Chains A and B, each alone.
Chain A
């Protein structure tokens, strides 16, 4: 982890910056209310407490500018975001042919580096209120030569006149402990929350992590000043894939947090969360081909943990812990109808992980950040899997500068450096495989 030892190597192929999900600030809201980005965002896209309360209240400030009928007809609740950037990726141990073009020359491990200008895809978000206490959010994403629907949901806010009952339905980001949709980093190497997407080696669980948008219903409640919050989501167990590809079961996600004011330091928040579900281990087939939606042999899994958000004046820290376990059949990719196929000594894999992310935010126009994250398998699914398979360590440092932040639009300049090390993952030598990434670019939000 010595900064001076930076060696630029190649990123493994196929991972574009969009992979983990996108992040945004929404200038359409700034335009609607005349507030600057910094009113709701610590440093966009990261939300501060005022912005989080606005979001929890169904994107309503509670003054007369909420209602669509008061809006200038020229106002559109739509924003666009694009991130043109330059980055350099390197991978220190990649398997390549000794003689390029000649597969018979044998594989060697070598470092590979790529760099150049790139883009991070375009987010287009339309969000706001259809009516008093009915809010919506639609987020198509244009990138990866594709258009996907990242989120599309509607919500009844303040049901029965109470902040304690808000009902959301559609495809939505879970009420994550720490939002990875609003992460401050753009790079795909250390700049995402690995724990939100982690699946152990050899595991074919349909569920791929709390970082994916899910399809279902969420009930969220909060106290008046957002200091106490709970959310419970019941989602279909397809990991957010539409078309009912999984089995007719439902997963449950719950999140609870409480914040309090510490004299001299500021707001502190602690919380606990859990995702509990069942995934199919085999499907009905027709001529040997699995039929989507007919998942059988559902077996259980969970992800759970605790987290905190700590403020010391202009410094703030996220701390996050996750403990995960998948059923032995899921962990070994074996249908529960063929227990004899389980390898000797098969068990349910378990792991722990977490991260610490710190920010220094001296003015609304500057934020410096650093993150360290790790995962550790505490028990592999079977003895044939290397003990440290899947373990990773990653760290990121970077900063964002916001020269333009008006109630109309925003521009940020960012530089990030990150490194992820996968234990024993080098393809040939079995040594640790490291990838590092240096990224700089602009973040345009309109």
Chain B
């Protein structure tokens, strides 16, 4: 008799616990577990003046920043390894904090301890109820990069045209395409497409793998869409190879590849 009641009590207790009442948000990055309470103290020291006390990007410094600080309450993030429209992984947020964001006011927070950055991720997730209601998207898999051949670059050039990349990024990749002047981010602030001639200071990382990932996940909150279904993985690599040739600061070795492509065309 006693055993039966205990069974029911255990079920009841587990249901209560699972309801999420009073559970602090946690984050997991590598083998570290982050705690939102510790993250809150860190947030108030480092983040609050740009991202705001409510995490809505309305900090005291926000009116003087362009691009604006991220609004965490919307749970929409540019730099993810998950499909467009889904929540990022904890490690995505951790990487953004560590790397910083080029061409913005977000510095690299690498001098903070790994544990501190993990705690911050846990606290940031408390700003939006979506993090408790939904799971992050399935992380994409980045396949090995095929060789950077002239054929790949040529195919990439063709895709740059047919996928309408040029309408925002411009035919030469300078970011002055015909639609560029009309672009706004999802908050309505003007936003400019990346100027590929300027180098590799992309917002979400500088490597080819980062570029591939950006093409597949899109940069949510901005006009940059996901090409997950529009192109195959090989085609995305072709576009990456082509984009690399647009960089005017490339070494001569890299530029000779571009010359080969131009000749072939």
Contacts and interface: CB of A to CB of B under 8 A. Distances in A.
Contact of A363 (B41, B61, B62, B103): B41
B6 to A, nearest CB: 36
Contacts of B103: 63-64
B33 to A, nearest CB: 11
Nearest to B64: A34
Contact of B49 (A35, A54, A63, A363): A35
B61 A34 contact: yes
B107 A62 contact: yes
Contacts of B113: 261, 266-267
Interface in B67-104: 100-104
Contact of A49 (B48, B65, B111): B111
B105 interface: yes
Interface string B43-76: 0111011100000000111101100000000000
Counting chain B residues whose Cβ lies within 8 A of the other chain, the interface size class is 20 to 34
A266 B114 CA distance: 10
A39 B110 CA distance: 13
A225 interface: yes
B77 to A, nearest CB: 18
B109 interface: yes
A130 interface: no
Nearest to B106: A63
B238 to A, nearest CB: 30
Given A50-B112, A406-B60, A35 B50 contact: yes
A38 interface: yes
A36 B111 contact: no
Contacts of B105: 33-34, 63, 65
A53 B45 contact: no
A410 interface: no
A246 B114 CA distance: 49
A393 interface: no
Contact of A64 (B59, B62, B102, B108): B102
B115 A39 contact: no
B46 A38 contact: yes
A31 B101 CA distance: 19
Nearest to A70: B103
B70 to A, nearest CB: 14
Contacts of A61: 100, 107-108
Contact of A226 (B50, B100, B109, B111): B111
A50 B61 contact: no
Contacts of B65: 34
Contact of B101 (A36, A49, A63): A63
A271 interface: no
A363 B106 CA distance: 23
Interface in A260-276: 261, 263, 266-267
Contact of A53 (B62, B101, B106, B111): B111
Contact of B44 (A64, A267, A363): A363
A45 interface: no
A237 B115 CA distance: 44
Contacts of A267: 113
Nearest 3 CB-CB pairs, A to B?
Answer: A34-B61, A53-B111, A61-B107
Given A34-B49, A363-B41, 8 more contacts: A34-B61, A34-B62, A34-B64, A35-B61, A39-B45, A49-B112, A61-B107, A64-B102
9 contacts: A34-B62, A34-B65, A35-B49, A35-B61, A36-B49, A53-B110, A61-B100, A263-B115, A266-B113
